[in-house]
């Protein structure tokens, strides 16, 4: 437990004003990306998923991965660079190490150590190290850390959408074998390239777009039924379907993307 933290002597008002303006502009950019790029692709993926049309669903998934990773990077910039620095400046908090160069991660373990420094340090201090002091093995301690993180990720989606499906939970749990796999490949191949490729593929192609489509499908199905699912998926939907899609965009898409990215 840490009692004292580095503090700043004063607030930098000009820098704070700049960050606030950038935050507002980034929010507008994210809203534009969601409505213009993410939602149409999510909408067109509903029926292929519902009808288990594997070929069409794979095509929709790959198409969604491109705008999804762009949205994810903008979300990362908004939360970890702008929002946390704004809070740090308002509270005159001196330690601004919120993230490191996670994009160069050679393994999934490196990514989770570099992506969210405050949460990573909190997990180490409150969960991992106490378990190690009680002579719990390293792997069981890591598994419990990922389990707690998986529960928090699932709650980040389940609470705003008012439904519990477990996609985010199992997505986080599946990180454990990927961490072991990328660590093994790094040791055997003596190279960081393959591990970095697995990291980007698992997050940007298979991970986040998959969770996004699954939650969107389940949300529409739970609130609108099969008939509403067909209407929302149809090209050139009427006013009622458009309103429903807009509601889903506001309540679902942003929260799901944030949760699968690990930002909230």
3-state secondary structure 127-188: HHHHHHHCCCCHHHHHHHHHHHHHHHHHHHHHHHHCCCCCHHHHHHHCHHHHHHHHHHHHHH
pLDDT at 169 (0 to 100): 92
The pLDDT-based confidence of 202 (bands split at 50, 70, 90) is confident
Dihedral sign computed on CA atoms, order 46, 50, 55, 58:
positive
pLDDT tens for each residue of 50-97: 888 888 888 888 888 989 889 889 999 999 999 999 999 999 888 888
Contact (CB, 8 A) for 74 and 258 = no
Q: Is the pLDDT of residue 196 over 50?
A: yes
Task: Give the catalytic positions in this structure.
Answer: 153
Report phi then psi at 262, rounded to 5.
Answer: 80, 20
The pLDDT-based confidence of 49 (bands split at 50, 70, 90) is confident
pLDDT tens for each residue of 92-116: 888 888 999 999 998 999 999 998 9
The pLDDT-based confidence of 228 (bands split at 50, 70, 90) is low
């Amino acid at each position: 437990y840490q009692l004292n933290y580095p503090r700043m002597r004063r607030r930098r008002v000009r820098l704070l004003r700049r960050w606030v303006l950038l935050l507002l502009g980034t929010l507008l950019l994210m809203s534009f990306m969601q409505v213009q790029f993410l939602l149409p692709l999510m909408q067109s993926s509903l029926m292929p998923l519902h009808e288990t049309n594997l070929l069409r669903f794979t095509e929709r998934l790959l198409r969604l991965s491109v705008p999804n990773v762009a949205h994810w990077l903008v979300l990362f910039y908004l939360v970890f660079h702008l929002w946390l620095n704004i809070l740090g400046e308002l509270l005159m908090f001196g330690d601004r190490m919120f993230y490191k160069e996670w994009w160069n991660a050679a393994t999934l373990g490196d990514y989770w150590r570099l992506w969210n420094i405050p949460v990573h340090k909190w997990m180490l201090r409150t969960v991992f190290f106490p378990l190690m002091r009680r002579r719990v093995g390293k792997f069981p301690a890591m598994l419990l850390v990922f389990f707690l993180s998986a529960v928090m990720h699932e709650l980040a989606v389940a609470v705003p959408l008012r439904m519990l499906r477990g996609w985010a939970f199992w997505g986080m749990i599946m990180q454990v074998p990927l961490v072991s796999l990328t660590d093994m490949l790094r040791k055997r191949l003596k190279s960081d390239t393959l591990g970095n490729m697995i990291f980007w593929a698992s997050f940007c192609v298979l991970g986040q777009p998959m969770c996004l489509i699954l939650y969107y499908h389940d949300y529409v199905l739970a609130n609108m039924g099969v008939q509403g699912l067909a209407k929302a998926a149809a090209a050139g939907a009427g006013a009622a379907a458009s309103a429903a899609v807009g509601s889903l965009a506001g309540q679902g898409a942003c929260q799901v993307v944030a949760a699968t990215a690990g930002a909230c």
